[in-house]
Structure 1
Amino acid sequence: MKVIICGAGQVGWQIARHLSGEKNDVTVVDNNPELVRRATDSLDVQGITGFASYPDILERAGARDADMVIAATFSDEVNMVTCQVAHSVFAIPRKIARLRSQSYLTAIYSDLYRRDHLPIDVVISPEREVAEAALQRLSAPAAFDTENFLGGKAQLLGIQLDEDCPVLNTPLRQLTDLFSTLRAIVVGVRREATLFAPEPGDQLFAGDQIYICTHRDDIARTMEIFGKSQTKQERVVIIGGGNVGLGVAEALETRVDRIRAKMIEKNRSCAERAANALERTIVLHGDGLNSELLAEANIKRADAVLAVTDDDKTNLLAAVRAKAEGCPMAICLVNDPTLVPLMKPLGIDAYINPRATTVSSILRHIRHGRVRQIYSIGDAEAEVIEAQVLSTSPIAGQTIRDIDFPEGVLVGMLLKDDKVVKPSGGTKVNEGDVVVIFAMAADVPEVERLLQVSIDFSDGAPS
């Protein structure tokens, strides 16, 4: 597949890394020569320096015979014009654009992206993706990472194991025997900064970060077995009233379980906009690092603080201060992955990486086969892939133990006839089943082959 990626920032670079690693023909376009050089030096991609929306630049990037353009520059307008030029001049079949401004995303204007208007096939909104990720973190407060699969019927949980975890030093196959009715499988373990797919004989140790695939109805029991208590979130303080904070607050207001939220926003006009848009959320104007303002927001009685300003360091400090003032749980928005190792020493419970959520969202729309969802783990170390099994797939009709999966691959959950099934070696995978698979990055191409990659890339649209 020939792909042009416009924008060589973190998102563009990560997408290029994924696609070039899978032997696609990738060209990266950016008007910053340093970013283009970084991409071409570190990845197996071609690079063009220039404005992605210019027809001559796209032509130099190979637009005449490209299969797809991904517009992920910092400018919404450049991304939109790039897709228009890609369609009108070069007839590129598939166009994906990252759009940040909420005005472009309002549902009443969705008609804008029709083929005969602005021909964008897939619109990715980082702010909406991040707001959804924040809500998921709140729904499983003891987990540092969460993602829904199988239409919300299954969930991936990232859990840090403490010294008091009751199942330490127990082989995983023994856990299956001890908790035979538990619909949960440990699919990934990060130990001493190295992520791997565990074997049945592997044990878990204090300090391990584990990824578990679990049935929605078994989340509370799973957390309890691995030493985590689930507390109901009733009061939340949101620091940052931009698009992400506002999106989270609006979603909380619509929930049935009535979570009470307070928001702190430093910029007056931004605070006023949030106050006008929200009905039940109290909006305070001021600095989220101010102890007096945190006291006014009643941070001591809050169940969680969500720091989602556009500045990583402010988010880290605000989260630390909120915890120092008595808030039991802190969730941070962090763009810079090099800051993630600071989370544990600072006592921050969970983080959201907007770039990782955007990368996951874009990958979901460009994978081959009947891929319905992709979630990128860590610094693109592994992926959790949800896909429908096609009749042409090599795994159709086989039991899991007979499928020649690479070592870094585990099946986490199956959907059979609308019923979620915990897989075992003897589970048969049939055409039409939906599988949730954990795969180390190096093994993703083989997983795609086993899921039967279609030469028609457009089959990657959500099914």
Structure 2
Amino acid sequence: MKVIICGAGQVGWQIARHLSGERNDVTVVDSNPDLVRRATDSLDVQGIAGFASYPDVLQRAGARDADMIIAATHSDEVNMVTCQVAHSVFGISRKIARLRSQSYLDAIYSDLYRRDHMPIDVVISPEREVAAAALQRLAAPAAFDTEVFMDGQSHLLGISIAEDCPIVNTPLRQLTDLFSTLRATVVGVRREGTLFAPEAEDQLFVGDDCYVFSHVEDINRTLEIFGKKISKQERVVLVGGGNVGLAVAHSLEGRAQRVRTKVIERSRECAERAAESLERTIVLHGDGLDAALLAEAGISRADAMLSVTDDDKVNMLACVRAKAEGCPYVVALINDPTLVPLMTPLGIDAYINPRATTVSSILRHIRHGRVRAVYSIGDAEAEVIEAEVLSTSPMAGKRISEIDFPEGVLVGAVRKGDKVVRPLGKMRIDEGDVIALFALAEDVPEVERLMQVSIDFF
């Protein structure tokens, strides 16, 4: 597949890294020659320096025979015009655009992206993706990472193993015997910075971070088995009243069970806009690092605090201060993945990586075959892929134990009909089943082969 990626920032670079690693023909376009050079030096891609919306630049990038264009520059308008030029001049069939401005995303204007208007096939909103991720963190406060699969029937939970975890030093194989009715499967473990797919004989040690697939009805039981306490989120403090904070606050206001929410915003203009937009949420104007203001927001009585400003360091320090004031659960928005190893030493319970959520969202629309969802883990170290099993798949008709999976791939959940079940070696995978696989980055191409991917299923 020939793909043009416009924008060589973190999101564009990660997408290029994924696609070039899977032997696609990738060309990266950016107006900054240094970013283009970084991409061509570190990845197996071609690079063009220039403005992505210019027809002659797209011509040099090979738009005449491209299968897909992904417009992920920092400018909404450039992304939109790029898709228009790709459609009108070059007839590129698949166009994905990242749009940030809420004005472009309002549902009443969705008709704008019709093929005969502004032809964009998929619109990705980073702010909405991040807000959804923040709400997922609140839904499972004992987990540092969460993602929903199988239409909400199965959840991926990131769980840190502490000293009070009852199953420390227990071989994973024994968990099946100890908890025979538990619909949960450990698919990934990060130990001393290295992520791997565990084998049945492997044990979990204190300090490990593990990724567990759990049936939605078994989430609380799963967390308890892993030594986590379940708590309700009735009082929430948000630091940051921009697009992300506003989206989270709106969602919390819309819940049937009332959540008392307070927003702290440094910019007077943003604070006033948030106050006008929200109905039952208290908006405070000031610095989220100010101890007096945090006290006024009731941080010591809050069940959770989310810091979602556009400054990583402010988010981290706000979380540290909130924790020191007695808030039991804090979440930070972190753009720079190199800061993630600092989360645990600083006592920050969970984090949201906007680039990872955006990359996951874009990959969901790129994957061939009957792929229904993709989630990127860590710094693009692994993916969880949910897909329907086709009749042509090498998996169809085989038991899980008979399928030749690479070492870095594990089955997390299987849906047969409308029922999600825990995968066991003797289970047969049939055509039409939906399967969720954890795969280390280097094994993703083999997973796609097992899905029997072809351009016919685009």
The aligned residue for residue 41 of structure 1 is 41
Q: 2 CA distance for matches of 1:217 and 1:259?
A: 22
Q: Following TM superposition, by how much is the alpha carbon of 1:12 offset from its aligned partner in structure 2, in angstroms?
A: 0.1
1:373 is matched with 373
| TM-score normalised by structure 2 residue count | 0.99
The worse-fitting range, judged by mean Cα deviation, of 102-111 and 392-401 is 392-401
Which amino acid in the other structure matches residue 446 of structure 1? E
Q: Counterpart in 2 of 1:306?
A: 306
Matches within 5 A, 1:157-196: 157-196=157-196
SS at match of 2:156: strand
Which residue of the partner structure matches residue 331 of structure 2?
331
* Aligned: 1:419 with 2:419: yes
- 3-state DSSP of counterpart to 2:322: helix
Aligned to 2:394: 394
Letter in 1 for 2:314: T
Deviation at 1:202, TM superposition (A): 0.5
- Match in the other structure for 1:442: 442
Shift in Å, 1:181: 0.3
Aligned partner of residue 138 in structure 2, secondary structure: helix
Q: 1:279 corresponds to which residue?
A: 279
Find the residue that maps to 1:305 and give its secondary structure: strand
How far 1:48 sits from its partner (Å)?
0.1
Matches within 5 A, 1:237-252: 237-252=237-252
Q: Does 1:123 align with 2:123?
A: yes
1:405 & 1:185 partners in 2: Cα distance? 17
Structure 1 residue ranges, 4+ long, deviating more than 2 angstroms after superposition: none
Helix, strand or coil for the counterpart of 2:455? coil
- TM-score, structure 1 as length reference: 0.98
Deviation at 1:455, TM superposition (A): 2.0
Q: Which amino acid aligns with 1:94?
A: R
The equivalent of 1:90 in structure 2 is 90
Amino acid at match of 2:293: L
Aligned residue type for 1:243: N
Query: Which structure 2 residues correspond to residues 214-253 of structure 1 after superposition, within 5 A?
Result: 214-253=214-253
Q: Match for residue 361 of structure 1?
A: 361
Equivalents in 2 of 1:12, 1:111: separation in Å?
27
Amino acid of the structure 1 residue aligned with 2:96: I
3-state SS of 2:344 partner? helix
RMSD value, Cα: 0.6
CA distance in 2, matches of 1:260, 1:188: 35
C-alpha separation in 2, matches of 1:362 and 1:319: 29
Most deviating of 310-319 and 130-139: 310-319
Instruction: Measure, in 2, the Cα distance between the counterparts of 1:388 and 1:256.
Output: 34
Q: What do residues 390-411 of structure 1 show as CA deviations (whole Å, max 9, x unaligned)? A: 1111101111001111111100
Aligned residue for 2:424, secondary structure, equals coil
* SS of structure 2 residue aligned to 1:103: helix
Counterpart of 1:9 in structure 2 is 9
SS at match of 1:111: helix
CA–CA distance in 1 between the matches of 2:455 and 2:110? 30
Residue of structure 1 equivalent to 2:107? 107
* Residue aligned with 1:168, SS: coil
Q: Distance in 1 between matches of 2:399 and 2:253?
A: 45
Give the deviation of 1:256 after TM superposition.
1.6
The answer on 1:270 being equivalent to 2:232 is no
Aligned equivalents of 1:163, 1:269: Cα separation in 2: 46
Residue 78 of structure 2 corresponds to 78
**Structure 1 residue 134, shift from structure 2 partner:** 0.1
Q: Per the alignment, in what secondary structure is the counterpart of residue 53 of structure 2?
A: coil
String of CA shifts for 1:56-84, please: whole Å, max 9, x gaps: 00000000000000000000000000000
Distance in 1, matches of 2:403 and 2:82, equals: 43
Q: 1:365-389: CA deviations, max 9, x gaps? A: 0001000000000010100000001
- For the residue of structure 2 that corresponds to 1:133, the secondary structure is helix
Please list every run of 5 or more consecutive structure 2 residues that lacks an aligned counterpart in the other structure. Answer: none
Name the CA distance, whole Å, in 2 between partners of 1:423 and 1:391. Answer: 20
Q: Which residues of structure 1 form unaligned runs of 5+?
A: none
Q: CA offsets per residue over residues 167-224 of structure 1, 9 Å max, x none?
A: 0111100011000000000000000100000000101100000000000000000000
2: CA distance between counterparts of 1:417 and 1:399?
A: 17
Q: In the TM superposition, what is the alpha-carbon distance from 1:345 to its structure 2 partner?
A: 1.1
Matched residues in 2 for 1:358 and 1:421: separation?
29
Alignment deviations for residues 245-303 of structure 1 (CA, whole Å, 9 cap, x no partner): 00000011111222111000010110011111111111111111111111110101000
Counterpart of 1:363 in structure 2: which amino acid?
Answer: L
CA distance in 2, matches of 1:451, 1:442: 16
Q: How does 1:14-33 map to 2 (within 5 A)?
A: 14-33=14-33
CA-to-partner distance for each residue in 1:303-358, whole Å, 9 max, x for gaps?
01000001111111111111111111110000001111111111100000000000
Q: Deviations over 1:104-134 (max 9, x none)?
A: 0000000000000000000000000000000
For residues 37 and 370 of structure 2, the distance between their equivalents in structure 1, rounded to whole angstroms, comes to 35
Give the partner amino acid of 1:399.
R
Q: Distance in 2 between matches of 1:256 and 1:154?
A: 23
Partners of 1:29 and 1:56 lie apart in 2 by: 12
Q: What is the alpha-carbon distance in structure 1 between the residues aligned to residue 40 and residue 29 of structure 2?
A: 11
The Cα of 1:165 is off from its aligned counterpart by: 0.7
Identity of aligned residues (%): 78
Residue of structure 2 in register with 1:50 after alignment? 50
Between the aligned partners of 2:197 and 2:179, the Cα distance in structure 1 is 20
Work out the CA distance in 2 between the residues paired with 1:65 and 1:105.
Answer: 30
The secondary structure found in structure 2 opposite 1:227 is coil
The structural deviation recorded for 1:97 is 0.1
Secondary structure class of the residue paired with 1:17: helix
SS in 2 for 1:3: strand
Correspondence for 2:258: 258
For residue 108 of structure 2, give the secondary structure of its aligned residue in structure 1.
Answer: helix
User: 1:406: which partner in 2?
Assistant: 406
AA at the equivalent of 2:107: A
For 1:229, give the aligned amino acid: K
2:136 maps to which residue?
136
Query: In structure 2, what is the equivalent of residue 59 of structure 1?
Result: 59
